[in-house]
């Protein structure tokens, strides 16, 4: 079977297959697949009328999403694991990521092992936009401090802002690293730089929408994201100068005010980091959207589970 290397021209076919169902996880977007192409060798194939997205790094190959099709087909899943088994030296690495909760019964009935990977944090847009009530008291205080003490410009983020955005990201990384010396975290910051550059390189073509804040001539904050579905917008990046009190709360709430066509804002997962988890929970999400990983059980064979 021939695997197709991912390109920007594949967006149309991906959007078609992603549109077969409504998805709550941010992973189910061409945008959130394409931006990782410098960190992973990404390829895809149509198997039994299902679009399958393969990610490969120096450890092995896995399926990034559940196969995308109009209906679930066991034969597709078996074929995927056969392909992964042929590509991976270590069969333990073969797995499918980002399985949505509604798909769990399908995989469990086939005898697969399902384990929780992460959650996306889903917030009500109106709450973020208004910051009303006691639960947002500290956020509102920070927001008000910023607008009172700084002469700022809030503007639409444009493709031409790429150089300044990357410069601010470098400052932000330096600030973050000084507070967290863990190697894994610092490695994640560098991986995120790569995906940020990919996103900014193709900002218009990928359909991003964003905002920026300048204080004087200098860019001090930016944020951008994408539409996941008709009622949910995903915030992919929010980067600020951490020395400016209230700036993060301001740009987050101000951007939420602009997104009037959406009921929810998905602020992505926490990457398994406790500090990021605390920040996301502090915005009182309406719900946590779980993502699961599917693997073969140790004793499982295809003869046992094939219908």
- pLDDT, one tens digit per residue, over 124-175 is 999 999 999 999 999 999 999 999 999 999 999 999 999 999 999 999 999 9
Asked if residue 300 and residue 282 are part of one domain, the reply reads no
Measured CA to CA, the distance from residue 186 to residue 214 in angstroms comes to 27
Q: Are residues 142 and 205 in the same domain?
A: yes
CA atoms within 13 A on the CB side of 159: 10
The pLDDT tens digits for 15-34 are: 999 999 999 999 999 999 99
Query: Whose CA is closest to 242, among 137, 155, 185, 170?
Result: 170
CA–CA dist 8, 54 (Å, integer): 16
User: From CA 295, how far away is CA 301, in angstroms rounded?
Assistant: 12
Q: What is the reported pLDDT for 307?
A: 42
Separation between Cα atoms, residue 203 and residue 173, nearest integer Å? 21
Indicate if the pLDDT at residue 182 is higher than 90. Answer: no
Count: domains in the chain: 2
- The angle subtended at Cα 284 by Cα 192 and Cα 128, nearest 5°, is 80
Nearest Cα to Cα of residue 150 among 255, 246, 241, 249: 246
Contact status, residue 42 vs residue 6, Cβ threshold 8 Å: yes
Do 150 and 256 lie in a common domain?
Answer: yes
Question: Longest Cα pair distance anywhere in the chain, in angstroms?
Answer: 68
pLDDT tens for each residue of 199-245: 999 999 999 999 999 999 999 999 999 999 999 999 999 999 999 99
Average pLDDT, the chain: 95
Residue 63's pLDDT is 99
Question: Residues 89-113: pLDDT tens digits?
Answer: 998 899 999 999 999 999 999 999 9
Looking at residue 272, its pLDDT comes to: 87
Asked whether residue 91 falls in the same domain as residue 215, the answer is no
pLDDT score at 197: 98
Q: What does the block give as tokens for 128?
A: 């973020």
The domain in which residue 191 lies consists of: 121-288
Instruction: State whether 88 and 198 are in the same domain.
Output: no
Q: What CATH number should be reported for the domain holding residue 127?
A: 3.40.630.30
How far is the C-alpha of 80 from the C-alpha of 44, rounded, in Å?
11
At residue 215, the 3 state secondary structure works out as strand
For 38-70, write each residue's pLDDT tens digit. 999 999 999 999 999 999 999 999 999 999 999
Q: Could you tell me if 283 and 264 lie in one domain?
A: yes
Regarding whether 181 and 99 lie in a shared domain, the answer is no
| Claim to verify: residue 272 and residue 127 sit in the same structural domain | yes
pLDDT at 298 over 80: no
**Mean pLDDT within 2-7:** 95
Same domain, 191 and 250: yes
Q: Are residues 173 and 112 in the same domain?
A: no
Q: Are 165 and 210 in contact (CB under 8 A)?
A: no
Mean pLDDT of 259-270: 98
Residues 65 and 192 in one domain: no
Q: Where are the alpha helices (DSSP H) in 97-182?
A: 104-109, 125-130, 137-149, 162-179
Tell me, what's the pLDDT at 177? 86
Q: Report the predicted TM-score, pTM, of the whole model to 2 decimal places.
A: 0.93
- What average pLDDT does range 75-98 have in this prediction? 96
Q: Are residues 71 and 140 in the same domain?
A: no
């Amino acid at each position: 079977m021939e695997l197709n290397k991912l390109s920007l021209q594949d967006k149309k076919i991906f959007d078609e297959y992603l549109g077969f169902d409504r998805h709550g996880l941010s992973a189910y977007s061409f945008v959130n697949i394409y931006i990782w192409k410098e960190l992973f060798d990404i390829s895809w194939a149509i198997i039994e009328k299902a679009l399958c997205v393969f990610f490969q790094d120096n450890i092995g190959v896995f399926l990034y999403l559940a196969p995308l099709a109009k209906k679930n087909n066991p034969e597709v899943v078996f074929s995927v694991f056969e392909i992964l088994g042929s590509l991976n030296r270590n069969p333990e690495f073969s797995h499918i990521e980002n399985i949505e909760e509604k798909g769990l019964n399908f995989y469990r009935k086939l005898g697969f092992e399902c384990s929780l990977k992460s959650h996306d944090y889903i917030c009500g847009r109106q709450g973020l936009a208004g910051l009303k009530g006691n639960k947002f008291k500290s956020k509102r205080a920070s927001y008000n401090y910023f607008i009172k003490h700084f002469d700022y410009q809030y503007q639409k983020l444009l493709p031409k802002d790429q150089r300044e955005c990357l410069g601010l990201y470098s400052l932000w990384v330096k600030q973050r690293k000084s507070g967290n010396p863990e190697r894994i975290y610092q490695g994640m910051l560098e991986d995120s730089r790569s995906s940020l550059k990919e996103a900014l390189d193709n900002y218009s073509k990928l359909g991003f929408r964003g905002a920026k804040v300048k204080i004087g001539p200098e860019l001090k904050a930016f944020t951008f994201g994408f539409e996941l579905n008709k009622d949910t917008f995903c915030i992919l990046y929010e980067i600020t100068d951490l020395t400016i009190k209230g700036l993060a709360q301001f740009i987050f709430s101000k951007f939420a005010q602009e997104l009037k066509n959406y009921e929810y804002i998905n602020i992505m997962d926490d990457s398994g980091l406790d500090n990021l988890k605390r920040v996301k929970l502090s915005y009182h999400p309406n719900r946590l959207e779980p993502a699961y990983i599917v693997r073969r059980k140790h004793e499982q064979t295809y003869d046992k589970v094939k219908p």
